[in-house]
Amino acid sequence: MATKKQLSEEISAVLRQAGLITKGESCSCDFIPSRQLAVHCVTDGGVHFFVKQLNGNHSFGDKWIEQVFSSSQFKYSQHRPRIHFNDRGWLISDFCKRTETLKKVPSDMLSSTLARTMGMALASLHSLGTAPLKNSPKLGLANPQSNVRAMPPLSLSSYAEMPGLDRDIYVRYSQGCAEGISILSDQLSYNSPIHGDLQGGNILITLSENNAFHIVDWERASPGDPCWDLGHLLAALLQRWIRTINDLTPPLDEILSLRQGTWPPQASWYTQLLNTYITELPELTRHEVSAAKISRIAGHTILERCRNILYVRGIYSGRDVLMLAIAEKLVNQPEQTLLSLLPGLKLGEAEL
């Protein structure tokens, strides 16, 4: 493990190579808790960066998205991510002072201004298209959407290999979603640049009045469906909400209709983001966005995370089972469930 001094010297060299600081400048660095090989650095000039060292097996999504941004015109330049990737495996992107992840930021920090600016930024990203990269060398991208595929009936041998005391619960819900996941796999497009892993830990929100935000960890970026990022963001908000529910006894439909805990302000925030996003999208991209895909992707994302819980912990809590039940609803009754969760969502040309 490098010392802080060694780390600062190494990252200062990386920033100089990227042209982000001058020859005489340096930076100070601190490891970010709970993030492997991720560092928050501050230059002598007070500029903040998120810097991460990637392992040898990364998919080069960060390098690809760097080329996308350098080859395209990002409509809202103030929200254009600055991403640099060097040959020593360091990924550099914007950071901001006094931030909190979307996972942990208080609900009252989810302002209308933040919803609109994030909606505009995502619309601009998804509108770039992948045409500028037709002549780029192959980078070996690992498309995250490849995980969505038809789910055959579980064999006895596969079941026997699954860990955990609660594997029956996961199998019941995941097999119950098989038809909806199969439909989703046939509907996904690959025409827009996507972040690929837009979960709560990768969205950093500044704890101040200017509602700045930064999206980090672009290593899973690839050509994909714009609904992929929107569905992942919805899944992140739903998991935030489920952690606040205290009464797990009512039937699922009642929980969804009452929307206990912190869901109402989060639903309002996501609805504003999505309505802004749809308004800003060009018509060519807008036709690829649908309520069914957003809902099914959110459900699929939650299923994947519940599978990981099973592998790590072996048992499910009551909230975990509620997450699985909501995932099943999102996958099998997509439009109805999404409109139940987001009653202010505008319907229109985007089939939302």
Q: Following DSSP, what letter does each residue of 113-133 receive, concatenated?
A: HHHHHHHHHHHHHHTS-SGGG
> Is 89 a domain residue?
no
Query: Which pLDDT score is estimated for 349?
Result: 45
Tens-digit pLDDT profile for residues 158-203: 777 788 889 999 999 999 999 999 999 999 998 888 989 998 888 8
Q: Give the whole-angstrom CA distance, residue 278 versus residue 116.
A: 11
| 256 vs 198, residue with greater confidence | 198
Percent of the chain whose predicted confidence (pLDDT) is above 70: 78
DSSP lists the bridge partners of residue 213 as 205
Query: Which pLDDT score is estimated for 150?
Result: 64
> Is 202 a domain residue?
yes
> Is 302 a domain residue?
yes
Mean pLDDT of 51-57: 65
Residue 309 sits in a domain whose CATH number is 3.90.1200.10
Whole-number Cα distances in Å, 98 to 121, 209, 260, 305: 21, 12, 30, 28
In the sheet that holds 213-215, the strands lie side by side as 99-101, 203-206, 213-215
Rounded to the nearest integer, the mean pLDDT of the chain is 80
Mean pLDDT of 326-345: 91
In contact, 114 and 265? CB cutoff 8 Å:
no
> Is 282 a domain residue?
yes
Whole-number Cα distances in Å, 322 to 246, 255, 302, 352: 12, 10, 11, 25
Range of the domain at 235: 100-341
Residue 350 has pLDDT above 50, yes or no: no
Sorted by sequence, the CB contacts under 8 Å of residue 41 that are 6+ apart come out as 8, 11, 15, 27, 28, 29, 30, 48, 49, 51, 95
> Is 184 a domain residue?
yes
Residue 138 has pLDDT above 80, yes or no: no
> Is 315 a domain residue?
yes
Closest CA to 49 of 88, 15, 76: 15
Number of structural domains, the chain?
1
Closest CA to 159 of 144, 174, 145: 174
Tens-digit pLDDT profile for residues 115-131: 998 998 899 888 887 55
Helix (H, G, I), strand (E, B) or coil at 42: strand
> Is 69 a domain residue?
no
> Is 201 a domain residue?
yes
Instruction: Please tell me the least confidently modeled range out of 56-70, 198-212, 327-341.
Output: 56-70
